[in-house]
Structure 1
Amino acid sequence: MAGYSAAPEEVAATPSCAAGALTGKLDDIEGAAGHVYGKLVLTNAGPAACRLNGFLDVRFVDAGGAEFGAPADHDDSRPMPGPALLAPGGAATAVLRITQPGIQEGCLRSDATREASALAVTPPGGTGTISVGLAGGVTACVSTGVRQLLIGPLGT
């Protein structure tokens, strides 16, 4: 079940989704001219409905669990959808773009990169993170000055 429709007063009364009630995965991964695109899917694994609205905070994580590199920039090139209300089992998605490090200044040498095994995802306005595995890993820039991630707004 995806999100569901609700009256504005129900939307306002529905609590934000806590990281501990969500699971995440990266789906529909496709490559295109120096970029990899995928759908970052968050599913409400909790017992009650919750609300997500806006942009996720996304960062690379190495095999030791350390976050590194620059956080994802927000892709505000399209209209922001309204809040995603998630019933138990419901899901919201955001498009994630990962730029290949070999085409970015400041990330061309092998000592400027590290293998990322997961993404640390923080829900909008939330605390706590969800770990989303990166099957096979991704070579990522260590520098916080290289913008390698771009995340779109959450929608259902």
Structure 2
Amino acid sequence: MTGFPDHQGGGLDGEGAGGDPVEPLLRQPPGYLDAPPGSFGRIRRRAARRRRMRAAGGGLAAAVVLTGSVYLVGALTSHDSDEVVSPPVSDSLTSTAPSTPGPSPDTAPTVNPAPTTTATTGGRGTRGATGTATTPPGPTPTRDAGTQTAGATPMCATSQLSAALGGGDAGAGSLFRYLVLTNHSSTACHLTGYPGLSMLDAKGAQIGAPADRQPMSYRPVVLRPGGAVSDTIHTVNQQGTCLPASVKLRIYPPGNTAWLDFPGSVTNCDNLFTVTPFTAGSTGNPPS
């Protein structure tokens, strides 16, 4: 008896008579199965991955241990060392030179401003607006001043003056009339800059807006008793839209809030009605 499961009685019933006696020995056991295709390759790849992971894990652990050792050595060294460590350059503070204190209010020197003269600078429709025009230091003589200067005389009051329209000129469609102020008092005085000038009808109502100021340089003008100053009124000759002609004119001398009314016919056409600053004489500014 061989004991193989596929043995069919071993000749006890006569079926195995005449068969090959070696064949049962060469047969594989019925429970054996071949490995699936590619299984050995998968096993090898998994084993290789495990080896790489173990190697990477070991390297990481070594790096952590090395870093911890360096940190520990540095900490022990910083606590045990007496050496003063300077901060890095990027953390250094920039020092600034102390500012020099200025003079205290009690010791600050006093600076005398240059002499100035006040001129009316209001535009159309303004009255009494003042500005400042700088003049050269020291008194400035004028043609009508003689030996007197503006610095030695008071400003002319409206009550010291009389007003009138003087001569005129025309050209290229423009009309020019000279407005003259005369000092009828017995004391000298001075005027500086522009007057305020408005047109009035017969009832004293204002016609249109006050005169604009034509930009020009100017200086104080001294009026001795009987002396005169003048400026130039500029309009156009019947061009564009014209307002009614004035019957009277109202003038505010520079630096005054009191006015003078005097006869005068002026027409504002094409919205052009300007006046120049006062200058010495009676032929307008610039003198004709």
Aligned to 2:220: 83
Q: Give the superposition deviation at 1:117.
A: 0.7
Give the Cα–Cα distance (whole angstroms) in 2 for the partners of residues 19 and 115 of structure 1: 25
CA deviation after TM superposition for structure 1 residue 40, in Å:
0.9
Contact (CA 8 Å) 2:231, 2:278: kept in 1 or not? yes
Please say if 1:128 is aligned against 2:266: no
Question: Once the two structures are aligned, what percentage of the paired residues are identical?
Answer: 30
Q: Which residue of structure 1 lines up, in the alignment, with residue 191 of structure 2?
A: 52
Superposed structure 1 runs of 4+ greater than 3 Å apart: 137-141
Instruction: Describe the shift of the 1:92–1:138 C-alpha distance in structure 2 as closer, same or farther (beyond 3 A).
Output: closer
Tell me the distance in 2 between the aligned counterparts of 1:96 and 1:74. Answer: 10
d(CA) in 2 for partners of 1:39 and 1:66?
23
Q: Tell me, in whole angstroms, the C-alpha distance in 2 between the residues paired with 1:19 and 1:6.
A: 24
Structure number, greater radius of gyration: 2
TM-fit CA distance, 1:45: 0.9
Higher relative contact order (CA 8 A, sep 6+): 1
Q: Contact 2:235 / 2:267 at 8 angstroms: preserved in 1?
A: no
Q: CA deviation at 1:74?
A: 0.9
Q: How big is each residue's C-alpha offset from its partner over 1:9-35, in whole Å with a ceiling of 9 and x where there is no partner?
A: x52342211112111111122233332
**What's the secondary structure of 1:12's corresponding residue?**
helix
TM-score (norm 1): 0.77
User: Deviation at 1:3?
Assistant: 2.4
| 1:154 and 2:278 aligned | yes
In structure 2, distance between residues paired with 1:68 and 1:4: 36
Query: Aligned to 2:255, what secondary structure does the other structure show?
Result: coil
The answer (yes or no) to whether the contact 1:27–1:39 under 8 Å persists in 2 is yes
Question: For each residue in 1:30-60, what CA deviation from the matched residue of structure 2 results, as whole angstroms up to 9, or x when unmatched?
Answer: 2333321021110001121111000011110
Residue 179 of structure 2 aligns with which residue?
Answer: 40
2:144 corresponding residue in structure 1: 3
1:103 is aligned with what amino acid? Q
Residue 116 of structure 1 deviates from its aligned partner by: 0.8
Provide the C-alpha distance between the structure 1 equivalents of 2:146 and 2:214, rounded to a whole number of angstroms: 25
Q: Distance in 2 between matches of 1:94 and 1:138?
A: 15
Stretches of structure 1 lacking an aligned partner (at least 5 in a row): none
8 Å Cα contact 2:161-2:183 kept in structure 1: yes
Aligned to 1:20, the other structure's residue is in SS state: helix
- 1:6 Cα offset (Å): 5.0
Structure 2 vs 1, CA of residues 59 and 125 (structure 1 numbering), >3 Å: closer, same or farther?
same
Change (3 A) 1:17 1:151: same
- After superposition, the Cα gap between the structure-2 partners of 1:148 and 1:11, relative to the gap in structure 1 and judged at 3 Å, is same
Say if 1:154 and 1:138 are closer, same or farther in 2 by CA, change over 3 A.
closer
Match of 2:230 in 1: 93
**Is 2:161 the partner of 1:22?**
yes
Report the structure, 1 or 2, having the larger helix content: 2
Match of 1:12 in 2: 151
Query: How many equivalent residue pairs?
Result: 138
Letter in 2 for 1:91: A
The answer to whether the Cα contact below 8 Å between 1:74 and 1:151 also exists between their aligned partners in 2 is yes
Specify which structure has the higher proportion of strand: 1
Q: 1:55 to 1:138 in 2, by over 3 A?
A: closer
- Pick which of 55-64 and 25-34 moved more: 25-34
Q: Given the alignment of the two structures, is residue 103 of structure 1 paired with residue 231 of structure 2, yes or no?
A: no
